[in-house]
Amino acid sequence: VYLLFQALRQITQRTISSASRRQFANRVSENQKLFQEDNGLPVHLKGGAKDSVLYRTTTGLAVFGTMYALYYLLVSSMPKKPN
């Protein structure tokens, strides 16, 4: 059992340490300029079209969920019809 554990540990260490690492560019300052720009947009829409789609989808789902809940509240408040 100990040898199996040692072998697994060596394999995982090699796999993790030999994995190629991509260097990501530091774009924090670019994003800070974008979000601090005074262009009249709220901060949750400054990301562009993707943010706009996410905002509208979330709003639509919230409105649909509210209407759905109100409908079933109305249906459940009505007395049942006798058979």
Residue 26 structure tokens = 């530091």
Looking at residue 7, its pLDDT comes to 81
Q: What is the pLDDT of residues 51-72, one digit of tens each?
A: 999 999 999 999 999 999 999 9
pLDDT of residue 74 exceeding 70, the answer is yes
Give CA–CA dist 55/45, Å, rounded: 8
Give CA–CA dist 8/12, Å, rounded: 6
Looking at residue 20, its pLDDT comes to 58
More confident residue, 14 or 11: 11
Q: Is the dihedral of CA 5, 7, 10, 12 positive or negative?
A: negative
- The CA dihedral of 39, 41, 45, 46, to the nearest 10 degrees, is 20
More confident residue, 80 or 20: 80
Span 1-18, mean pLDDT? 71
Instruction: Read off the pTM.
Output: 0.57
